[in-house]
Structure 1
Amino acid sequence: MKYNSYILGAGLLAAACNPSTPKEEQQQMVHLITLAPGHFHAALVQKSTTPGIDSVVNVYAPEGPELDAHMSLINSYNARPDNPTHWKEEVYTGPDFLEKMAADKKGSVVVIAGNNHDKTKYISTAVQAGMNVLADKPMAITTEDFESLKASFTAAAEKKVLLYDIMTERSEITNILQKELIHQPAVFGDLQPGTVDKPTIEIESIHHFYKMVSGKTLRRPSWFFDPSQQGDAIVDVNTHLVDLAHWMLFDTTALNYQSDIQLTKADKWRTPLTLGQFNAITGAAAFPDFLKAYVKQDTIVEVAANGTVHYAVKGINVRASALWNFQAPEGGGDSHYAIARGTKANIVIRQGKEESWKPEIYIEAISTEAGYEQAVQAAIQQLAGKYPGITLEKQDKRWKIQIPENLKTGHEAHFAEVLQRYMQFLKTGKVPDWEVSNMITKYYVTTAGQAMAKEK
């Protein structure tokens, strides 16, 4: 498919392209560039309109099905009857798309979500060109990538541009409440010291290759199943889990990967997919040559999709695990389990069949001291001032926190929330120092964990 000026949807363009918009206001707008969108997360950044962002987006990418899929999603956002967007995508597809992007500088923020093999190179090119970067996770999948990423953070500081990754899970209400509750001593007590076998913080995330996104079956590129291009679970999904652990425990405290992290062990294992399943996910009739090393008997590909990393951060034991299956159970979806172990209670998120596959958060009491239930009720009443509508439901020796629907914004909506956070950084001209330190620390954990992982 050829693109020149690709005008999507029937609606009028947003204010930034309206002749009545003052020139000064238009110049102050953030202008997005989308670079090689090979993952649907690139489109989710644009699923809703964000004030302050120009409706013209410049896209630099090779021609092919990945670009077509991206444009199709943007088009669906423009064409929907409720709250349509008004994006105008200006697309360049020459073989020199990366160099062209850096030379043109037609935007102030480069959005990168695609093949992870090239991501650190894309980040470095954009930063060296003096452009801000908002990158999907993971920003690094090997120890070599980690060194490149560190250099990009140094360059970003020198050039006064902002480099940041998209951490959507901090916007999930159950994760927010878990963080709040582990800092309520009357409810949680102190952190349990934890061990490798029974860590203080344990997080497990289960994902599925065959799924629906924005109401349509997600078509994944074949390279998604190649660990040298996508990375496996330790360096991919575990990026979110490690980020959550550090954010819950330390909030805005800066971590130093050289002094605060002690890696213990890591394991990885594979998920088998039949050729039929692979076809349903990718549309490919055969396994590509780059996956031949993982193909058994010509009919099954063993995907390097699962991994666990064990480590201590400032002496606190953490275990992060990510798993991939072909398809969710009937009526189910991706799931999340997280437990923070305290001396008075465990704060637990569950997202299984009992929860109808929706994340729910529980306070599971350990304490038998008099007045503990009153302390729990008082803590929730206090938090309800910040998160209106949350209440307690007593269930034997645990309490379930009832969360109103308006606080359950959902995964796809979280991308807009991350973008709004990034917009605030752009206004102040700086990503907070603790965020930079903790991004570097996070990618050290994942890439070094991957390097030490043993195959099960």
Structure 2
Amino acid sequence: MLKFRSKNFIKVAASIVAISFFQNCDSPEESMDEPKSKAPIQIVSLDPGHFHAGLIHKSMYPEVDSTIHVYAPEGEELRDYLKRIAGYNERPENPTAWNIETYTGDDFLQEMIKEKSGNVMVVAGKNDRKIDYILAALENGMNVYADKPLVIDPAGFQKLKKAFEIAGEKNLLFYDIMTERFEISTILQKELSMIPKVFGTIEKGSLENPAITKESVHHFFKYVSGAPLIRPEWFFDTKIEGSGLVDVTTHLVDLVQWEAFPGVVLDTTDVEMLEAELLPTSLNYEQYQQVTGKTPPFQEGETLDVLANGEMNYTLKGIHAKVSVIWAFQAPEGTADTHYSIMRGTKANLIIRQGQEENYKPVLYVKLLDGQDEALKEAIETTLQSKYPGISLTKLDNGEYKVEVPESYSVGHEAHFAQVTENYLKFFKAGEMPDWEVPNMIVKYYTTTKAFEIAQ
């Protein structure tokens, strides 16, 4: 239901009963105009231009107020966001019960700051201005939960360091959304790498043969929540969206740090960028029209070259890593986005493949180098079974082991947004994060923006 008022104010009310408030959630921020220590977590969504902004609300959370306060410019991106959440409210199975109050004046940022309708700002949209939104929220006492990437160039990185300083001074929780940490094959790759009897220690590697490789293939045209994804035109402008070295690579660089140095506080001096390259993906007239729903800004027979593909080679504390991202227009029928990863240890290689043989779902394989079959079986059946019930091993004809995972663990990319959000809410309630999270976020964005700087 839509109700229009003056100053372009829209109120969208769900017809389902709202969830009860969680009364004992302590906010990390105590200096807002009104005390929030006894209040539920109240979300403010600013300029939700990316579909990830809606995916956060595919689930509901007992700690979160059922009313979302949205401040955004009027347009198709806002309408898509509202339509997506309405779809979650109206679905027959496990419907959500979100109420949305939306301000659409041109001064939407100033109005958000003036009203302070919530204590957590969510932002997922145009990446060139995201850090300015974040700074405005933090400077005015709002916690921040932001989609990646937080910044897309070295100038943005300097602002990011300032943002973390402000968050620290004001005791605010500022966090980015790293969904890939919740993918089960990646979790088990990390777990096995931490068992010396199986993995040994990580190799140092070389430029030609890195110790860690993370590669992913993505597609401009895809289906999200069962519907064709219409991307905004700015998505194909790398000055706004960011290039292939600073967008999806954020996830891969994060995983390199998270897996190779778990719980270790990193510093930018630990990174040496060796090589970085950007390459284009070309969209023709019909493809651009299909994925945006708009008339292309070029003539038939011409193409739009998008610098969406990136590769970087660097060392982290002396360990060689390679990260690469490739974008195609659309996956062939029956296929999907893919991920490949390898961690090379002195006793074993831990390999994630996601090809046709795996039915395009990520699967972890273990290649033993030291004949430690019994140690691997013990690790799976004893050490890891208690944490991940149901996992098992199958030995393949090529000598590798396939880690079998129950279907219940394969929840999919969209469901990971709820898992990350629940993690953020856990930090929010505790009033703190692990001491390595903030410095390692800084190192992550130093790595991506340094690669961009070198590639240019």
TM-score for the superposition, normalised by structure 1: 0.93
> 2: distance between equivalents of 1:267 and 1:286?
27
Q: Which position in structure 2 is the counterpart of 1:84?
A: 95
Q: Which position in structure 2 is the counterpart of 1:266?
A: 276
Q: Which position in structure 1 is the counterpart of 2:85?
A: 74
| Structure 2 residue identity aligned to 1:42 | A
| Structure 2 residue identity aligned to 1:60 | Y
Equivalent residues in 2 for 1:108-127, closer than 5 Å: 108-127=119-138
Contact 1:164 1:431 in 2 (8 A): no
Q: Which position in structure 2 is the counterpart of 1:330?
A: 333
Shift of 1:296: 8.4
Equivalent residues in 2 for 1:134-145, closer than 5 Å: 134-145=145-156
Aligned length: 438
Matched, 1:49 2:60: yes
Range with bigger deviation, 342-351 or 25-34: 25-34
| Structure 2 residue identity aligned to 1:201 | I
Range with bigger deviation, 429-438 or 198-207: 429-438
Shift of 1:448: 0.8
> 2: distance between equivalents of 1:165 and 1:296?
39
Q: Which position in structure 2 is the counterpart of 1:219?
A: 230
| Runs of 5+ unmatched residues, structure 2 | 23-34
| Structure 2 residue identity aligned to 1:6 | K
> 1: distance between equivalents of 2:430 and 2:359?
42
Range with bigger deviation, 25-34 or 416-425: 25-34
Matched, 1:356 2:367: no
> 1: distance between equivalents of 2:217 and 2:287?
18
Shift of 1:431: 2.9
> 1: distance between equivalents of 2:434 and 2:135?
20
Contact 1:127 1:156 in 2 (8 A): yes
* SS across alignment from 1:446: helix
1:308-365 per-residue CA deviation (whole Å, 9 max, x = no partner) reads 1111000000001011000012111111000001122110000011111111000012
Shift of 1:276: 0.4
Task: Using the aligned pairs only, state the percent identity.
Answer: 46
Equivalent residues in 2 for 1:336-347, closer than 5 Å: 336-347=339-350
> 1: distance between equivalents of 2:349 and 2:434?
31
Shift of 1:297: 7.4
Equivalent residues in 2 for 1:294-333, closer than 5 Å: 299-333=302-336
Matched, 1:130 2:138: no
Distance change (3 Å), C-alpha of 1:193 and 1:302: same
Q: Which position in structure 1 is the counterpart of 2:29?
A: none
> 2: distance between equivalents of 1:307 and 1:80?
38
Distance change (3 Å), C-alpha of 1:342 and 1:26: closer
Equivalent residues in 2 for 1:167-178, closer than 5 Å: 167-178=178-189
Contact 2:211 2:344 in 1 (8 A): yes
| Structure 2 residue identity aligned to 1:421 | N
- Give structure 1 regions of 4+ aligned residues with deviation exceeding 6 angstroms: none
Contact 2:183 2:416 in 1 (8 A): yes
Shift of 1:9: 4.2
Contact 2:339 2:354 in 1 (8 A): yes
* SS across alignment from 2:129: helix
Shift of 1:248: 0.3
* SS across alignment from 2:342: strand
Shift of 1:79: 0.2
Of 48, 51, 56, which residue of structure 2 is paired with 1:37? Answer: 48
* SS across alignment from 1:28: coil
Matched, 1:229 2:240: yes
Q: Which position in structure 1 is the counterpart of 2:384?
A: 383
Q: Which position in structure 2 is the counterpart of 1:162?
A: 173
Shift of 1:299: 2.4
